[in-house]
Structure 1
Amino acid sequence: MRSVAVLVQDGVEPFGLGAMCEVWAEPYHPDDDNPVFDFVVATPRPGRVAGPSGYDLHVDHGLDAAAGADLICVAPKRDYRTPSPEVAEVVAAAHARGAFVFAHCTAAFVLGEAGLLDGRRCTTHWRHVGHLAEAFPLAHVDEDVLYVQDGTIVTGAGSAAGLDAALHLMRQQFGARTAAAAARRMVIPPHRSGGQAQFISRPVPDCDAETLGPLLTWILENLGLDLSVDELARRSHMSPRTFARRFRAETGTTPHTWVTGQRVQAAEELLELTDHSIDWIADEVGFGNAATLRHHFARARGVSPQQYRRTFSGAQATASA
């Protein structure tokens, strides 16, 4: 994946466009050894593109500039129920030739118009999942996730979830180290699982003493320890039931799912940056043994630890698995 095209329509939402530009167009520091993408923003009629909030954009390139792009990103627009037929046509053609297609927020309606959601899992902003399911009844709309990948098609929920989905794609194509570098540059968390809930009753906590923030920090520093619900509840001076309920309220997911995701991410980094054995890494991140690591890694990433290492390791990994 070396070329990225972002498609915009009249009424384009500025955050969605900005998020895609921030991830794929922002040049990296040359010492980071990260990929540099051929990046273009394209629209059906080059020139003035109406914005939704009292200002307009100027886009130089027409949709022909997106031909051949490895990744097509579709930015959301305010009047999402009237997607551009021209944009939908470009999206359908890109998918037919094997390109990745990513719809941020309500841009999922463009993918539906292109016929790409039929029989596929997908999502959009939680306010509009009902509209998406009604408009495209053959789609499998998931209302309670941040993003979904079904083959080469990725759909994301609103606003910040677009950054999560973009980092997911970067991690998948270039590895955890590259995705973490991009996240660090944007000063955002390097990984939120797509299965995490869109809407939670409280914001994700910072390190306030009245939240679980300090505990989450401690977990990340101690992944090799016993991190069962009972043990975490004990450290938090709560009953297991109260702890599990509060954890979901503050993070949008269960303790087990969150901890497992952090362990997989830590394993990714060790696979990329070290030549330690799979058994050693499994013990270091808290899975205990290689078989358990392989199970969770394959379930989360779709490949084995060994395959991931061969794809993304910068070291010559010679240790036996």
Structure 2
Amino acid sequence: MKNRCNTLLTLTLLILAPFQIAQANSQQDHLESIILGMGCFWGAEKRMSALPGVVDVESGYANGEIEASYRKILSHESLRKLGLSDKRNHTEVVKVTFDTNRTSLEAVLIGFWQNHDPTQGDRQGNDVGSNYRSAIYTHNDDQTATAVKTRDIYQQALLAKKFGRITTEIAPLTNYSAAETYHQDYLVKNPNGYCGLGGTGVIYPDSQESRLQPPSTTAMLDGAKLDPQQQLVVFEAEECIFCQQFKADILDHWQAELEIASTLSRQPPAGWKLQKSLIATPTIVLFEQGNEVSRFTGYNGNMNRFWQWFDSQRMRPEASHIAGKMEAGRAKNSLF
């Protein structure tokens, strides 16, 4: 009896196997992947995972000419900067797999463009080096064509907002390696971990795909509600630990007469002007008469460095009228 049951079970499995294989293949037919470089892959993984229709995001390294490991890549970048190697370094990337029944490559690329700054060359915010370049590595000509099309559309939107030329590398994928296990789902495992992505705040021109994207920016500050003569503005990014540290070290104790405001937008207050685009967060900008006159880029916990910049602004001959406000703020904040 036992042998008979085993025989029936075996026959059943043999009959069902082709159907199970066919079903699995059918599900795989709806999946497509593309390799994207957006700077540090920790933040890129989190941002791209949030897009509708994306089923998996894996951190990795692509299109380099050396051994693909985190430490090797960092060491090689140092050699490149010293002129000791001309071998191409890997790009930190994410392999984005998406369901074509639920989204499109164009929609995924819109998320890519909106969630980082593609105009910075070999850097992304605080992360500097060719390993942090913006990149799209494609599997076929159709992907390349879509990448170029969306780039050209987004370029016009960036130019309209006074940003520079897109420096994103678009090229066929030549090699790819998954990153070490501890890099995968890094910000899920480390919620307070570093995420250097902030985007430009420029929305991809209206399309069906762009309407499917979650908002990647917030409204800019209203210049009419700020001090038109002198105003400090702190440009921040979501989940930016350095922004949180600046808030704890400086903003939470701010007592200066000089007004200071914070924003998650990468755009200046409405009607005001930045001298150039932002490259990192937090960036603290001093505006006078609605125009940028100075900025402090990046904060790593060194309060003395920030206060040196702050003090230097009141030493400018044309800033004598705000010296009292800044000195008062410096003295009061130094108590904390």
The structure showing larger relative contact order (alpha-carbon pairs under 8 Å, at least 6 residues apart) is 2
Structure-1-length-normalised TM-score: 0.28
Structure-2-length-normalised TM-score: 0.27
**Structure whose alpha-carbon radius of gyration is higher:** 2
Give the structure with the higher percent helix.
Answer: 1
Give the structure with the higher percent strand.
Answer: 2
